[in-house]
Structure 1
């Protein structure tokens, strides 16, 4: 440390002393001018004083010893605002109650199996009725209104309080589509989208626009049945000859900001229906060794970026603005065929696969494998691709769900609600369990209403959907159990109970 010599300034960079010179004769930027030396001395004193105050303040703050106690500390921590990761999701799950059901099966349709596919709409701000499109068999698309009382309970008899179309009470026969595989809704064009798994020389899907009533009309926002639809459109994408086995497995409606209407997952890759009405292949359908085979899961990461996967167990990222050959390397290889891929945000995706695999992956750490790379980073423990004995292409998820159970079913229900941080997933056990999971910890949440649900006619449950209705603060979970759509929502047992 340099000695403090009166009348001299020590420059730490040049490591030498300079005589302090009057500011009028010294250069303007000279560090040894009297004015600059005085200014620097005041700044150093102020910085030293601030450091002393910070250290004194830091020493005054001490964590209470009571907070380290297992029981008492937990209560005190909660009162002090230290909320655990699962508090919101756990509170929601424990408050979920059974809220009735809407029967779809009657003399016209069978009652032997679970609801296969369904879409629940909750945009009727006029009457508050929910709207459901579903199928119970291989060819009948049916629809129904979902009425609720003041306590949010669902029952068919409540339909008598509304003015519904036609002389027949719900459910209604909409149309006959062979081997329905998925039902979704595209908001921008107000169209219901239905895909078909019937093998043929082209990929086939159907679309129709529900008739919307005027604001002063006492009937619901959407009219169901034959009186509610004027035109049913069949959209087809011809495949390569002589193949006659093309099937549509799933459909993903395009998000806001996209020019297309939807992307369809098929048994030979992806097709797209754009706003011009044209249906085109996004992946080559006729390559003898094409990497894109059965696609059971499609999700939009952004308007131009699509994640898709299925059999074999690989997840691909398709940027519709880039060359198609850039999609051919998977960003993720799962332990088995993928059944679901749901984007949580701009970087994370929830992936479900056979072999009881459910996990969240961060796309920033996933990259296509390079078969020609010999870089040492491919095998370095800090590399995102490194995972020991599973090979250089095995990526580690950021979150796993150990209690998830699906060993062998492709068609199995799963949905999530990002606001509450909860995912609902069906299990392939004998009871047809539907479990709630935390999207922050992967832990299975306790939910008495779902745990004590009666066993369906046939396990597993195939259709699950969260939907939030106008005026509700929390979503309602709909489960296609047997031939009914069962409702579960956060609430109280009775109107007089304390919330």
Structure 2
């Protein structure tokens, strides 16, 4: 409706719809003769005009100020803007680098493995296990080991890249490939033959590839180890690691008094530790001591394993098991302190053990739901991923340490139940509920405790997590925010991504993200946008 003309001496009541329909004006009446509440009294008309003018002026001022306040164009520049934000902004300066890195992760191609299983519904099962090594500075070739679709054998693959750092399959490209026969670089099967392969890791100081099994029957092999031979430093014809040429294999069985130990995950020990690795098993945490040939010891017990095929008739190899410790799905060493172990599993909490102390001093400082993954960020902080969309960072310096374990083992529900029955040697354990230092509200995992990918790069402040809907997400370890990464966010899988790892390729300065999607490996590396790549 067009604005009505302002007739001197008359007042138009805009809020009165009846008058608006009749287009009726009221003659302004002097205040001393008009009713006090009349809208057409001169005093009320003047007051309303003044209020309307003030409101109009305030709105005009806000619009002018809104037009003046704009983000400087220089702050939108990646390099200069990031520098100025870091120097003068109130935001976390480190977050700028995390956001830039996540946004710069580009799809760098895929390695497809042979002998992919045919499926009636054309749905490929995702890889269960993946290990990537980038130590070959001589040729620039990465190495990947994957568990094949039968979950009994592993396949080694050389990861070559073109001049734009995209993964390529041999023998179609020749970028970064040393001289020699291209057939040498085809996928190679190792001697491993294990049922239900659960993890593939490498103890880098000894160059031992450790392959574990999660479902052996009684007396079957639980662990197999081998070391790939190395080429001569001056040999330019072959890569540093010679895949498929290992001529020896160590096979071990992990026994227990009541049942076999299903090994769910393996964590190589730091170089300063006397252990080879720590194992998360169905009966607690087990440590592998290389100075005892073929021996595995359960913390804090003695030998509980023998070389495959060896059985002690006197049963002396069986340790005093005590409380079994419950199912543990993940174990990790504290960063910067190889004497401290963190573990998590079905027992609803984070377990912490200092191997220099007696087991009675060990504790379960954090009470939370069942844990699928635990990763150490530094000596005092751990990231925990579990069910019910739980992903959080805990600082163990601010947790209760009242929970002590006097029974042997990790003080699981079995020790608590034993104490409840009044058995000697066990005390009832209590756990102090701890609030996380940081939460990750974008994480999605309702029910998966096994075979769901997760990895952490503490140096770059990143966590990569697979969601139960087939997606992959990146998170900041400083803020808990999900970091936007267009290529990674666009990834979709028909099932949960089970294998996920952050590793640095040879001659690179930043880590790359590798995901086992289908029967292949998808790679994401930091790079410029695709339209800036050379042909």
Matched, 1:343 2:379: no
Displacement after TM superposition at 1:496 (Å): 4.7
Matched, 1:290 2:299: no
Taking the aligned partners of 1:74 and 1:402, their CA distance within structure 2 comes to: 32
Alpha carbons of 1:79 and 1:88: their partners in 2 closer, same or farther (altered >3 Å)?
A: closer
Alpha carbons of 1:108 and 1:368: their partners in 2 closer, same or farther (altered >3 Å)?
A: same
Taking the aligned partners of 1:367 and 1:105, their CA distance within structure 2 comes to: 51
Q: Which residue of 2 aligns with 1:257?
A: 272
Matched, 1:148 2:188: no
Indicate if the aligned counterparts of 1:347 and 1:362 stay in contact, CA closer than 8 A.
yes
Q: Which residue of 1 aligns with 2:510?
A: 474
Q: Which residue of 1 aligns with 2:145?
A: 133
Indicate if the aligned counterparts of 2:164 and 2:533 stay in contact, CA closer than 8 A.
no
- Indicate which of 87, 93, 100 corresponds to 1:91: 100
**2:222 aligned counterpart, secondary structure:** strand
Displacement after TM superposition at 1:481 (Å): 0.8
Displacement after TM superposition at 1:370 (Å): 4.9
Alpha carbons of 1:321 and 1:90: their partners in 2 closer, same or farther (altered >3 Å)?
A: same
**How does 1:409-424 map onto structure 2 within 5 Å?**
409-410=448-449, 411-424=451-464
Matched, 1:310 2:323: no
**How does 1:205-244 map onto structure 2 within 5 Å?**
205-217=223-235, 218-225=237-244, 228-240=245-257, 243-244=258-259
Taking the aligned partners of 2:355 and 2:515, their CA distance within structure 1 comes to: 34
Q: Which residue of 2 aligns with 1:323?
A: 358
Displacement after TM superposition at 1:347 (Å): 1.1
Ranges in structure 1 where 5+ consecutive residues have no aligned partner: 1-64, 372-390
Indicate if the aligned counterparts of 2:254 and 2:260 stay in contact, CA closer than 8 A.
no
- Indicate which of 197, 201, 205 corresponds to 1:188: 205
Matched, 1:360 2:393: yes
- Indicate which of 239, 263, 281 corresponds to 1:266: 281
Aligned residues: 405
Taking the aligned partners of 1:115 and 1:466, their CA distance within structure 2 comes to: 16
Matched, 1:396 2:435: yes
Indicate if the aligned counterparts of 1:260 and 1:274 stay in contact, CA closer than 8 A.
yes
Q: Which structure has the bigger radius of gyration?
A: 2
Displacement after TM superposition at 1:130 (Å): 0.5
Ranges in structure 2 where 5+ consecutive residues have no aligned partner: 1-64, 76-80, 305-318, 405-429
- Indicate which of 173, 176, 201 corresponds to 2:193: 176
Displacement after TM superposition at 1:270 (Å): 1.4
Taking the aligned partners of 1:235 and 1:151, their CA distance within structure 2 comes to: 43
Displacement after TM superposition at 1:159 (Å): 6.9
Q: Which residue of 2 aligns with 1:52?
A: none
Q: Which residue of 2 aligns with 1:60?
A: none
Q: Which residue of 1 aligns with 2:262?
A: 247
Normalised TM-score (structure 2): 0.70
Alpha carbons of 1:79 and 1:308: their partners in 2 closer, same or farther (altered >3 Å)?
A: closer
Q: Which residue of 2 aligns with 1:334?
A: 368
Alpha carbons of 1:91 and 1:160: their partners in 2 closer, same or farther (altered >3 Å)?
A: closer
Of Structure 1 and Structure 2, the greater strand share is in: 1
**1:304 aligned counterpart, secondary structure:** strand
Alpha carbons of 1:164 and 1:362: their partners in 2 closer, same or farther (altered >3 Å)?
A: farther
Q: Which residue of 1 aligns with 2:11?
A: none
- Superposed CA deviations along residues 243-292 of structure 1, whole A, max 9, x for unmatched, are 23421111111112111111111100111111212211115689998372
Displacement after TM superposition at 1:321 (Å): 1.8
Taking the aligned partners of 1:425 and 1:245, their CA distance within structure 2 comes to: 30
Taking the aligned partners of 1:209 and 1:165, their CA distance within structure 2 comes to: 24
